Amino acid sequence: MLEHRIDQRFTVTYSYPVCFTRKAFSPDNPVLAELMRMPEQGMKARALVLIDSGVAASRDGYIESIERYAYAHRHLFELAHPPVAMRGGEAAKHGLREVEPIYDLVREMRICRHSYVVAIGGGAVLDAAGYAAATAHRGVRLIRMPSTVLAQNDAGIGVKNGVNWYGRKNFVGAFASPFAVVNDFDLLASAPSHVRRAGIAEAIKVALIRDEAFFAQLHQQRFELADLAPHAIEPMIVRCAQLHLAQIRNGGDPFERGSARPLDFGHWAAHKLEELSQHRLLHGEAVAIGIALDTLYSQHIGLIDGAAVDLVLDTMRDIGFVLDDPVLDELDLERALADFREHLGGLLCITLLKGIGEGIEVDRIDMAAMRECVARLRVMRQAVQAVRAASEVST
Amino acid sequence: MLEHRIDQRFTVTYSYPVCFTRKAFSPDNPVLAELMRMPEQGMKARALVLIDSGVAASRDGYIESIERYAYAHRHLFELAHPPVAMRGGEAAKHGLREVEPIYDLVREMRICRHSYVVAIGGGAVLDAAGYAAATAHRGVRLIRMPSTVLAQNDAGIGVKNGVNWYGRKNFVGAFASPFAVVNDFDLLASAPSHVRRAGIAEAIKVALIRDEAFFAQLHQQRFELADLAPHAIEPMIVRCAQLHLAQIRNGGDPFERGSARPLDFGHWAAHKLEELSQHRLLHGEAVAIGIALDTLYSQHIGLIDGAAVDLVLDTMRDIGFVLDDPVLDELDLERALADFREHLGGLLCITLLKGIGEGIEVDRIDMAAMRECVARLRVMRQAVQAVRAASEVST
């Protein structure tokens, strides 16, 4: 019945730099402007700048500093429109509500595929603005300037973007690599402390599955990380970004067509906990709980011992993560695993730990055992507190 | 000011078969079902079938035949939902109006990245359904079953999808390769004759810029093509598809990041003529006019001679294309070229002819000369008719 068949096959190379800098909009900082330099002599790039309202609100004169920067580098690029503020946090990802006005701006300001959308903000703003940039004209150039720890070490440096759809996280999105990423360490101060701290969860995650030495460093510096000391936070961001980028580059499946999702360690529960808490839990806070759960489960099925579990959970607690959030009581395990499998597609594939720094993938979860792990997590802090209280009494 | 830089780089391979068959939903035709065979023993694929309302209306019992087909091949796949009809023609691409209900279906029917959206219809339905498939879950598998000549030889076999946005053609979209394409020759009969004929324009286009022998064949068979004779139409579709796929594969820029658009010969005017006629002109009809215009312009600047122009224009007229549509009088050349450049991005790049079967790219258009070509096209038919009338009188 097949009369003729043509097998189409081609490859596409994706490349982008991730630059770490400070005071990106100081007029004498060339990093951002040079990224936009056009190869054609005398041609000037055009940029549409979108800013997280949270970032704009936290810094006096920030929008003016961008305008001054554009003026200082006017031989390289021009602003197509004054910088536009976008709702920050998960509100940015409420369906296509924040995406459609960006299409209108791209259309009205005549932004083309060789122009730039520069998105400044936390992961949610970058996800929504990135989705708009990936789909307007089938893709205009996107420069991400992540403002949070989580966005600088994970969400803002990779190839994913998207928005939520009727509460389903990242349901509508695309894989698209940015044109460039500019991580400005000085932007981190725009976020409140608990938001900055939450981003450390992704570093713990990638250290646990990939890099024992990095985990040892995080453990050693846990109190400095808890204090958000720049000398601990900044190298943590660079190392975490390196590991995430290496996984995308070398993992063999950057656009996730197969079933494996090694970087999603702890994420099946995390996604659902975020939804159930109606985003009271930040993504990183939910990931920490998810890591705790899958670490306990790894012990339960004999992959790691109790000492490893204590090391992981104590490190996270000392950094400031709360692992026994009451929303755990509402977690429907079957549903959470089914939704995770369905969003990723293919067979269920869950990453567990077979050691500190070593992930392993499994294709089934014993629900009764996982339920026990949830229960252990819920009572564990009470137990920890009781032990501490007892030891304080006895001293 | 640059503290650290990581250069990310990876490649992604895209591959998909384009299969030519007949009676794709005859229960004994294995082509479609085999494409969905899961590698895992005993696993069954799930499919959401979307059909152009025009196709469904033109064929009695078509939806039932799909259901019977699914039943006959139930060991390989199942329908996640009864086949769903979508508005056909440009109405399918009216912003996100037809896309959002597909997101809802994907969500409600729990379609995952390893499930299939099977889209059956003309180019517009494939573009809109393909965009929904490319963005739901960041991409579920798409099998296109093009129903028109244009979709089988061009629009349905490539890597583009998208919808219009406030009248701007394909403004919102993505580059995404399909999982597979099934060209069912028996589907062609669902479209009215003028729709089928319009699709021949893309074959003329690609022949003119790439393949002199193919153009000679089209010229020789022009009256059979005008009659839509299957023995002329079917090989034309296969050859045109081969040439389009080869350009995507070998052209070096499948996702159009540079400025060159060799396959868009004749398209800068065509896109605007479609818009100006409010889609009274079909895409192929507008492309024929655009080809005529750029062929005349190629002569005007000395690239080809008058005999070549006559050959091209006569071939198109004999196939049934009307080249002097009154909407040409409304064409704002500057605006049309500016919008074309802007949608594609980068520098202006227009393909012209330097011979039959050989395209050449230029980066500027002389507006006065192009205006003369428009004027020539408008009066040309009157002249042709006058000559014919005179010769009839004299014989």
Per-residue 3-state assignment (H helix, E strand, C coil) for chain B:
CEEEEEEEEEEEEEEEEEEEECCCCCCCCCHHHHHCCCCCCCCCEEEEEEEEHHHHHHCCCHHHHHHHHHHHCCCCEEECCCCEEECCHHHHHECCCCHHHHHHHHHHCCCCCCCEEEEEECHHHHHHHHHHHHHECCCCEEEEEECCHHHHHHHCCCCEEEEEECCEEEEEEEECCCCEEEEEHHHHHHCCHHHHHHCHHHHHHHHHHHCHHHHHHHHHCHHHHHCCCHHHHHHHHHHHHHHHHHHHHHCCCCCCCCCCCHHHCCHHHHHHHHHHCCCCCCHHHHHHHHHHHHHHHHHHCCCCCHHHHHHHHHHHHHHCCCCCCHHHHHCCHHHHHHHHHHHHCCCCCEEEEEECCEEEEECCCCHHHHHHHHHHHHHHHHHHHHHHHHHHHHC
According to the model, what pLDDT value does residue A392 have?
65
Mean pLDDT to the nearest integer, B178-200: 95
Report angle CA A30, A33, A36 to the nearest 5 degrees.
140
pLDDT tens by residue, chain A, 395 residues: 778 999 999 999 999 999 999 999 999 999 999 999 998 877 899 999 999 999 999 999 999 999 999 999 999 999 999 999 999 988 999 999 999 999 999 999 999 999 999 999 999 999 999 999 999 999 999 999 999 999 999 999 999 999 999 888 899 999 999 999 999 999 999 899 999 999 999 999 999 999 999 999 999 999 999 999 999 999 999 999 999 999 999 998 999 888 888 889 999 999 999 999 998 999 999 999 999 999 999 999 999 999 999 999 999 999 999 999 999 999 999 999 998 887 777 789 999 999 999 999 999 999 999 999 999 999 886 666 666 667 766 65
For residues A112 and B67, give the distance between their C-alpha atoms in angstroms, rounded to a whole number: 44
Chain B nearest-CA distance from A129, in A, is: 14
Please give the full DSSP string across A71-140, using - where no structure is assigned. HHTTTTEEESSS-EEE--GGGGGBTTTTHHHHHHHHHHTT--TTSEEEEEESHHHHHHHHHHHHHBTT--
Instruction: Give the closest residue to B93 by CA, choosing from B58, B121, B62.
Output: B121
Closest to B245 (Cβ–Cβ): which among A8, A11, A31? A8
Integer-rounded Cα radius of gyration of chain B: 22
Closest to A12 (Cβ–Cβ): which among B26, B254, B341? B254
Q: Any CB–CB contact under 8 A between A107 and chain B?
A: yes
pLDDT in tens, B85-105: 999 988 999 999 999 999 999
**Residue of chain A whose alpha carbon sits nearest to that of B25:** A1
Mean pLDDT to the nearest integer, B60-71: 96
Please give the full DSSP string across A235-303, using - where no structure is assigned. HHHHHHHHHHHHHHHHSS-TT--SS--GGGTTHHHHHHHHHHTTTSS-HHHHHHHHHHHHHHHHHHTTS
Instruction: Mark yes or no for CB contact B15/A6 under 8 Å.
Output: no
Instruction: Give the closest residue to B159 by CA, choosing from B10, B18, B347, B340.
Output: B18
DSSP category for residue A153: I
According to the model, what pLDDT value does residue B341 have?
86
CA dihedral angle for residue A183, residue A188, residue A193, residue A196, rounded to 10 degrees: 0
Report angle CA B368, B268, B212 to the nearest 5 degrees.
100
Classify the phi-psi angles of A138: left when phi > 0, otherwise alpha if psi is within -120 to 50, otherwise beta. Answer: left
Chain mean position to CA B43 = 35
For residues B104 and A167, give the distance between their C-alpha atoms in angstroms, rounded to a whole number: 12
Handedness of CA B353, B356, B357, B358 (dihedral sign): negative
According to the model, what pLDDT value does residue A330 have?
96
According to the model, what pLDDT value does residue B167 have?
80
According to the model, what pLDDT value does residue A394 have?
60
For residues A68 and A173, give the distance between their C-alpha atoms in angstroms, rounded to a whole number: 34
Q: Any CB–CB contact under 8 A between A231 and chain B?
A: no
Instruction: Mark yes or no for CB contact B1/A22 under 8 Å.
Output: yes
CA dihedral angle for residue B176, residue B182, residue B183, residue B188, rounded to 10 degrees: -100
Residues 268-287 of A with CB under 8 A from B: none
For residues B149 and B163, give the distance between their C-alpha atoms in angstroms, rounded to a whole number: 20
Q: How large a percentage of chain B has pLDDT more than 90?
A: 86
A169: β partners: none
A68: burial class by Cβ within 10 Å (0-12, 13-18, 19+)? Answer: middle
Classify the phi-psi angles of B167: left when phi > 0, otherwise alpha if psi is within -120 to 50, otherwise beta. Answer: left
Instruction: Mark yes or no for CB contact A19/B5 under 8 Å.
Output: yes
Instruction: Give the closest residue to A267 by CA, choosing from A159, A340, A164.
Output: A340
Instruction: Mark yes or no for CB contact B173/A31 under 8 Å.
Output: no
According to the model, what pLDDT value does residue B236 have?
98
Instruction: Mark yes or no for CB contact B345/A28 under 8 Å.
Output: no
Residues 57-96 of A with CB under 8 A from B: 96
For residues A189 and A243, give the distance between their C-alpha atoms in angstroms, rounded to a whole number: 24
Chain A nearest-CA distance from B140, in A, is: 8
For residues B133 and B142, give the distance between their C-alpha atoms in angstroms, rounded to a whole number: 6
Chain A nearest-CA distance from B40, in A, is: 9
Residue B385 banded pLDDT, cuts 50, 70, 90 = low
Chain B hits for A103, Cβ within 8 Å: 165, 171-172
Closest to A173 (Cβ–Cβ): which among B135, B162, B175? B135
Q: Any CB–CB contact under 8 A between B241 and chain A?
A: yes
For residues B114 and A257, give the distance between their C-alpha atoms in angstroms, rounded to a whole number: 8
Show the tokens assigned to B247: 């350009």
Chain mean position to CA A381 = 27
Residue type, B326: P
Instruction: Give the closest residue to B127 by CA, choosing from B157, B107, B101, B153.
Output: B157
- Other CB atoms within 10 Å distance of the CB of residue B23: 15
Residues 125-144 of B with CB under 8 A from A: 134-140
Q: Any CB–CB contact under 8 A between B160 and chain A?
A: yes
Closest to A2 (Cβ–Cβ): which among B8, B19, B113? B19
* CB contact burial A251-266 (16+ within 10 A = b; e otherwise): eeebbbebbbbbbbbb
According to the model, what pLDDT value does residue B384 have?
64
Chain B nearest-CA distance from A21, in A, is: 5
According to the model, what pLDDT value does residue A346 have?
75
Residue type, B95: G
Residue among B3, B5, B10 with most chain A CBs within 10 A, to mutate: B10
Report whether pLDDT(B78) > 90. yes
According to the model, what pLDDT value does residue B393 have?
63
Which of A296-310, B164-178, B323-337, B373-387 has the weakest average pLDDT?
B373-387
Give the CA diameter of chain A: 86
Chain A hits for B186, Cβ within 8 Å: none
For residues A298 and A369, give the distance between their C-alpha atoms in angstroms, rounded to a whole number: 10
Report whether pLDDT(B139) > 70. yes
Mean pLDDT to the nearest integer, B242-247: 96
Which residue carries 């990581």 as its tokens? B6
Which residue carries 């009451």 as its tokens? A326
pLDDT in tens, B20-42: 999 999 999 999 999 999 988 77
Residue B388 banded pLDDT, cuts 50, 70, 90 = low
| Kind plus residue range of the DSSP H or E element containing A164 | strand A160-165
For residues B242 and B228, give the distance between their C-alpha atoms in angstroms, rounded to a whole number: 20
Return all residues near B320 (Cβ < 8 A) that are at least 6 apart: B194, B197, B226
Q: Any CB–CB contact under 8 A between A5 and chain B?
A: yes
The answer to whether B308 and B208 have CB atoms below 8 angstroms apart is no
| Kind plus residue range of the DSSP H or E element containing A55 | helix A53-58
Show the tokens assigned to A122: 């936390």
For residues B80 and B108, give the distance between their C-alpha atoms in angstroms, rounded to a whole number: 10
Chain B hits for A164, Cβ within 8 Å: none
Show the tokens assigned to B13: 């391979």
Report whether pLDDT(B190) > 70. yes
ipTM of the complex: 0.92
The answer to whether B149 and B200 have CB atoms below 8 angstroms apart is yes
According to the model, what pLDDT value does residue B257 have?
87
Residue among A3, A7, A9, A10 with most chain B CBs within 10 A, to mutate: A10
According to the model, what pLDDT value does residue B216 have?
98
Report whether pLDDT(B79) > 90. yes
Q: Any CB–CB contact under 8 A between A223 and chain B?
A: no
**Residue of chain A whose alpha carbon sits nearest to that of B27:** A1
For residues B66 and B83, give the distance between their C-alpha atoms in angstroms, rounded to a whole number: 8
Instruction: Give the closest residue to A381 by CA, choosing from A307, A287, A316.
Output: A316
Closest to A15 (Cβ–Cβ): which among B9, B165, B345? B9
The answer to whether B360 and B393 have CB atoms below 8 angstroms apart is no
Mean pLDDT to the nearest integer, B346-361: 94
Chain B hits for A21, Cβ within 8 Å: 1-3
The answer to whether A333 and A374 have CB atoms below 8 angstroms apart is yes
Chain A nearest-CA distance from B228, in A, is: 19
pTM: 0.93
Instruction: Give the closest residue to A347 by CA, choosing from A268, A264, A259.
Output: A259
Q: Any CB–CB contact under 8 A between B31 and chain A?
A: yes
Hey, what domains does chain B have and what are their CATH numbers?
18-190 (3.40.50.1970), 193-394 (1.20.1090.10)
Return all residues near A238 (Cβ < 8 A) that are at least 6 apart: A20, B4
Integer-rounded Cα radius of gyration of chain A: 22
Instruction: Mark yes or no for CB contact B12/A9 under 8 Å.
Output: no
Q: What angle do the packed helices A306-319 and A283-300 form, to 10 degrees? A: 170
For residues A251 and A258, give the distance between their C-alpha atoms in angstroms, rounded to a whole number: 11
DSSP category for residue A154: I
